[in-house]
Amino acid sequence: MILTKEKIYTVKINMKAFIRVVEIWTPDSKNNCQLTLADSYFGDCHDFNKQSQSVSFAYNEGLPGTAWAQAKPLIITDLEHSCFVRKQAAKASAINCAIAIPIFSGQFLLAVIILLCGDEDEVAGAIEIWGKHPVRKKELCLIEGYYGSLDKFEWISRRIAFPKGSGLPGTIWDYHLPQIISDISTSSSFLRASNARVDGITTAFGMPFIYHGNKEFIVTMLSARGTPIARRFEIWLPDREHKFLSLYSGHSEIPYDVFSYQEVKKGQGLIGQTWLTGCPCISRHPAKRSKTKSSANNEPGSDGLKVSVTIPIIEEGVITAVCAFTL
């Protein structure tokens, strides 16, 4: 459904960031066998930023190269004993978890998105990767997840499976479209709702990633009100003729934030740029969004926030959706 009504949410101002670093790695224009840093947001991780500027990754090297070679999303919760190359810099910046999401068009890599998290004892929330069960092929099971301080919720999540059409991962798997659950406490489609309420998880956001060779994965982000994964989520879908994208669904934790119907053409703003190129984008200085009027030129998740990230959902070489989240 298209959002046509204004929605207003309130939230604490002193929220602690769950995601601390965002990187986009793309094949180098002069050497396609190397991935170089195309865009990034490092927040207060200045030393990690400095080291990352001079690094590149070959196929199957480091986390970006490994995600490229394995053609699937990856989560690393033990950086010290892993393919992660920048271990010491990450440790110095209190980063203890890394998530990689490769973006392919058919067999060809367009980009690898890296999300880096830290301070697991102080944040509540989760990022999960779901994939086909190794035995029960008609079910999804947890491939890997990062849960911060949510030990009990992690225990439940590692023991649950979702048939197609069941729960948030199963629904996304069924429709091959991203989904947002704005209020888990009132949702009948979030099967872990009672566990989520206990741990203060309020919002769920999920994206499908369909790769060559019938490889299907669902990445879910579960937000708590005090330490949200992101303060704003958006899902944009193309019309039948693929002439424009319109806002399909959204959720915001930003005070007085407004959603209203919008249309974006290819190349227009951050959303349109991703639709045109098929590559994720980062905006570090979004323009302030009007509280009363809508404009397709507005960047997603504006209101003077730090960074917005767009992620294309591509299936069989066609963009079926563009997702955006604002930290």
For residue 44, give Cα distances in angstroms to 55, 76, 78, 306.
19, 21, 22, 11
Which pLDDT score, from 0 to 100, does residue 16 have?
A: 61
Domain 230-327: give its CATH architecture: 2-Layer Sandwich (3.30)
Do 19-119 and 124-226 agree at the fold level?
yes
Q: Any idea what DSSP says for residue 204?
A: E
DSSP H helical ranges for the chain:
46-52, 62-70, 87-92, 151-157, 167-175, 193-198, 269-277
Which pLDDT score, from 0 to 100, does residue 10 have?
A: 35
Dihedral pair phi/psi, residue 299, rounded to 5°? -75, 155
Which pLDDT score, from 0 to 100, does residue 325 have?
A: 93
- Euclidean distance between CA atoms 251 and 194, whole angstroms: 21
Pairing of β 19-27 and β 108-118: antiparallel
pLDDT tens digits, one per residue of 73-100:
999 999 998 999 999 999 999 899 999 9
Which pLDDT score, from 0 to 100, does residue 15 have?
A: 52
Which pLDDT score, from 0 to 100, does residue 118 have?
A: 83
CATH for 19-119? Answer: 3.30.450.40
Global pTM reads: 0.88
CATH fold for the domain made of 124-226: Beta-Lactamase (3.30.450)
Task: Transcribe 141-170 into DSSP letters.
Answer: EEEEEEEET-HHHHHHHTT-EEETTSHHHH
Ranges of residues in the chain whose predicted pLDDT is under 50: 1-14, 286-287, 289-305
Query: Long-range contacts of range 264-269, CB-CB < 8 Å, 24 or more positions apart?
Result: 264/236, 264/296, 265/296, 268/296, 268/297, 269/296, 269/297, 269/298, 269/299, 269/300
Domain coordinates of the chain in residue numbers? 19-119, 124-226, 230-327
